[in-house]
Homo-oligomer: A and B are copies of this chain.
Amino acid sequence: MDHFMRVAIDEARQGLAEGGIPIGSVLVHRGVLLGRGRNRRVQLGSAVLHGEIDALDNAGRHEASVYRESVLYTTLSPCAMCSGAILLFGIPKVVIGENQTFMGEEALLRSRGVEVDVVQSPECIDMMQAFIAASPALWHEDIGK
């Protein structure tokens, strides 16, 4: 498995160990990790700190040119907010752990020229499906359902 997807999964597992929703993400610029994060709805009582938003936040401030040479890794297909962040910053490529449990805005991303690479990792699928089976209300809260 790609090293950076491994880091994203490690973030997701850390979130799970904290009692959180197991979704992790990493922002990578030209092969260098800029920021890593995980969903922290439970840990920080935050509705907006999805894994991707947390990774972008932890990466700090950058000029547009940095994002335009970056790749965002995420263990789960990105929701509308996180896909919107990808579009806002002009991140040209996203690598997704899986989209079987949840299908985010991949079609919108592709329609705007973003390269979308879905790994369909059994580890990511098992992790999310076990979590949702155990905590369906928390999962629905996170995706506004």
Binding site for B on A (CB under 8 A): 41, 45-49, 53, 56-57, 59-64, 67, 79-85, 87-90, 105, 108, 140-141, 143-145
Contact = CB atoms under 8 A, between A and B. Distances in A.
- Tell me the number of copies of this protein: 2
Given A45-B60, A64-B144, A144-B64, A84 B79 contact: yes
A64 B138 CA distance: 11
Contact of A84 (B61, B81, B143, B145): B81
A17 to B, nearest CB: 20
A37 to B, nearest CB: 10
Nearest to A90: B144
Given A48-B56, A56-B48, A143 B88 contact: yes
